[in-house]
Amino acid sequence: MLTAKNRSAHEAIDYYSQRLDNSSLARWYGKGALVLGLSGEINSKEIFANICNGRTPDGSEKLGRNTKRAAIDCTFSVPKSISLSALVGGDERLIDAHRRAVEQTLVVIEKHHAQTRIRAKGTRYCVHTNNLIVAQFDHWESRDCDPHLHTHALVMNLTQAQFGQWYSLNNGEIYKDKKALGIFYHACLKAEVQKLGYDIEARPHGGFEIKGYKKEDLMYFSKRRQQIIAKVGHGASWITRENGWSITRKAKQHLPLDELKEVWRQQAHTLGFTPVVPKNLQPKPQKPENNSGDSYQNSQFEQKEDLEIRIYTERFLQLDDKDLLRMNNFIVEYFKSEESKIDSSNTQHKKALLQALQSSQVSKRIAAIQAELNRVYEQEGSVQDLQPRIRLNF
């Protein structure tokens, strides 16, 4: 899941500086950060505060002007079953898997969504800058102190244009592509989780969980979600649920992780709950006698691949026409780029994403949308004349 919200300098400094006592939970990311000499762990509250206030790391120079919007807080949250296996079951490899999925998504945001507006000769132009300053903060718990692994990626309101000049970040494209980026993050996370030996299963609305968890166990450790559902109802739209999140939001307690883990282990013991163990750490099942080893493995692989395609197809069909077209262009462009070749082990989920887009239901909708666009082009003018309007609406 990916949510996004603007943060003022005061909000960011007041809330996130509390976690800088443990710098291993906070780290810099982005080409813009590297330009300012920021990389690795965030270990200085003063430097973090200076960046939030739009200044250089040492505070000597002003880079940005808008401290009312210091950053856009992109929050990446794992499915509940992953939180349970990582934080209650103790499989810390899942934390690293989540971090890798977040950074793979940040690579895409930096390349395709980093932009600013520059005024020249009385006209404001949108300029792609391809650099960001991002401060990442890992959090373990929800506001009801349930296990809830998530990362706040504070995309700072600063980006460097040509000739070294710094400008405010135009974050409109990030908000527009929020659904697509959330799907992409889930795809990356799913691939990382499967590489660790876990089986997954589809859930409503295109989500997924680690296979083997009982619904009541997930519900027990999801008290925050139950509050939101109680407020807005089971059938509420995504926007209504997000508003419900804000309405029911309360002050967060900051407890040491060791203390939280002990509480969660006691709760699990009381419930008779045992975290799921990945299949590569379980005794290997006997292969059916009437199948050869190769055919048995191929059958298991095909089932897993079909499941991924079904999950993505379901999620794509839930997008409206505008977001589906953006998603199609987004994925096709990304997987033709160099970034998609960074991790060759993700070939399976790349293939599943593309096959879901090419499935009959999804491809027919995309074709219908594109046909409607062609009709509009013919009636209203040339492609070039309509590009500004199409770019704003789509």
Q: Letter for the amino acid at 26?
A: A
Structure confidence at residue 240 (pLDDT) = 53
Please give the Cα distance from 65 to 35 (Å, whole number). Answer: 19
The answer on 166 and 305 residing in a single domain is no
54 in a structural domain: yes
Gyration radius (Cα) of the chain, Å: 22
The answer on 287 and 148 residing in a single domain is no
198 in a structural domain: no
Residue 370: CB partners within 8 Å, gap ≥ 6? 325
The CATH number of the domain where 101 resides is what?
A: 3.30.930
How many other CB atoms sit within 10 Å of the CB of residue 131?
19
The answer on 293 and 264 residing in a single domain is no
> Which residue, 64, 62, 56, 68, is CA-closest to 9?
68
The answer on 168 and 35 residing in a single domain is yes
Number of domains forming the structure of the chain = 2
The answer on 292 and 264 residing in a single domain is no
The answer on 108 and 28 residing in a single domain is yes
Structure confidence at residue 207 (pLDDT) = 79
33 in a structural domain: yes
Structure confidence at residue 244 (pLDDT) = 46
Q: What is the DSSP string of 270-313?
A: HHT--PPPPGGGSPPPPPPTTS-HHHHHHHHHHHHHHHHHHHHH
The answer on 304 and 255 residing in a single domain is no
The answer on 12 and 133 residing in a single domain is yes
Report residues of the chain scoring pLDDT below 50: 225-226, 228-232, 236, 238, 244-245, 247-249, 293, 296-297, 300-301, 345, 383-394
The answer on 99 and 6 residing in a single domain is yes
Runs of H (alpha helix) within the chain: 9-16, 31-35, 45-52, 80-83, 93-113, 172-176, 178-195, 215-220, 223-232, 238-247, 257-271, 293-317, 321-335, 347-358, 360-380, 383-393
The answer on 302 and 265 residing in a single domain is no
Please give the Cα distance from 34 to 30 (Å, whole number). Answer: 7
Q: What is the pLDDT of residues 63-113, one digit of tens each?
A: 976 667 899 999 999 999 999 999 999 999 999 999 999 999 999 999 999
Q: Specify whether the backbone of 107 is left (phi greater than 0), alpha (psi in -120 to 50) or beta.
A: alpha
Q: What is the DSSP string of 44-97?
A: -HHHHHHHHTTB-TTS-SB--S-STT-EEEEEEE--HHHHIIIIIS--THHHHH
Contact 278, 161 (CB under 8 A): no
Sheet-wide strand order for 134-141 = 2-7, 71-77, 147-156, 134-141, 26-29
Active site residues: 15-16
* Domain limits for position 353: 283-393
Q: In the block, which residue shows the tokens 């808008």?
A: 66
The answer on 161 and 309 residing in a single domain is no
Structure confidence at residue 67 (pLDDT) = 62
The answer on 165 and 58 residing in a single domain is yes
